[in-house]
Amino acid sequence: MRNTIAVMNTKGGVGKSTLVLALAETLSAEHNKNVLVIDSDAQATVSNMLMTVNDLYRLQRDGLTIVDFLVTQVLREEEAKWSDFVIRDVSDIDDARSVYLMPSDMQLTLFEREVSKEGAHGRLRNSIADVLNAVRSVFDVVLIDCPPGLSVLTESWLREADFHISPTKADYVSVCGLEVFRRFKSLNPEMGFAENMGVMINMRDVTSETDEEYIKWLRSNPANRCFDAVVPRANSLQDAARFQPQNRSYGAKYPGAVGGAIRALSLEVLHRMVEAPAKLQPPEAQTQAANRVAS
């Protein structure tokens, strides 16, 4: 099943990590899905949203993050079991007990520097491909939280994942970030690329006529495949991003219009996953995939 989704926009500040969090918890609590969140952002934002600071620090100290996994596989060229770096029992929602996390660390930036220095891009992409091939059959949905900008690691996720989702705000700079991403996607098509699942419009100011005009403009381009639901700007969503030691209900964390929008987005994600045809790779990409398996 095609169920691995890279979430990114080249522009930061669009609420990307908060959307990843909300989608993961909604898919778990409302749809009983086993969801893996892969935190590929060096800021470890979504990791901080899913556990206490002390727990995250302990994992980073003990070498149990995605950085440690990739360093072992890519730089040391040693075997590492991806499952050893997946953490269960995350989230502060009492009925979202099927969210799993591969946490991040700020050392991820240094890892990418070493990959470039050693020319290990091929090993990195092979490792990413192997991980995604493994987790597809274990989890119902895999959400990859990518950082803004385009790095060697983000490119690997985007070329190996089944889909990509692009969150955006309804403003000029964020929309420009989508255009940069679109141009990047058009480069080297023979290398393969995730299918566009769609653009998610986030942090909408319901009182702003400018926001409404940008939303209409985004929807006017069929290539954007905009999701129907739009997430409003609300303090409750900012509160949801702060992990609470005491569990709370799904309704308490995502109340009112925000909860309604997130539930609608989650349903759309599930429908688009099911409705998507099997991925057809260009011949060059099929040859590269065969070479990866052979090696």
Read off the pLDDT of residues 53-63 as tens digits, 9 standing for 90 and up. 999 999 999 99
Q: Which residue has the higher pLDDT, 10 or 214?
A: 214
- What tokens does 16 get? 């990307």
- What tokens does 103 get? 């946490």
**Residue-level pLDDT at 285:** 43
**Residue-level pLDDT at 149:** 79
Burial class (CB in 10 A: 0-12, 13-18, 19+), 79: exposed
Percent share of the chain, pLDDT over 70? 94
Using DSSP, state whether 167 is helix, strand or coil: strand
Q: Which residue has the higher pLDDT, 43 or 278?
A: 43
Q: Are 87 and 52 in contact (CB under 8 A)?
A: no
Using DSSP, state whether 6 is helix, strand or coil: strand
- What tokens does 133 get? 């091939």
Using DSSP, state whether 81 is helix, strand or coil: coil
19 vs 193: CA distance, rounded Å: 22
Q: Given a cut of 70, is residue 284 above it in pLDDT? A: no
User: Domain spans of the chain?
Assistant: 4-294
Nearest 5°: phi and psi at 164? -135, 145
pLDDT tens for 225-263 read 999 999 999 888 889 999 999 999 999 999 999 999 999
- What tokens does 267 get? 């349903």
Bridge partner list, 141: 35
Whether this prediction's pTM lies above 0.95 is answered by: no
Q: Given a cut of 80, is residue 286 above it in pLDDT? A: no
pLDDT tens for 195-226 read 999 999 998 988 889 899 989 989 998 989 99
Using DSSP, state whether 187 is helix, strand or coil: coil
| Structural class in CATH, domain 4-294 | alpha beta
Burial class (CB in 10 A: 0-12, 13-18, 19+), 241: middle
Max Cα distance, the chain (Å): 57
Q: Are 131 and 82 in contact (CB under 8 A)?
A: yes
The alpha carbon of residue 230 and the mean position of all alpha carbons in its chain are separated, in whole angstroms, by 18
Question: Within 10 A of 81 (CB to CB), how many other CB atoms are there?
Answer: 10
287 vs 191: CA distance, rounded Å: 10
- Could you tell me the pLDDT band of residue 51, with boundaries at 50, 70 and 90? very high
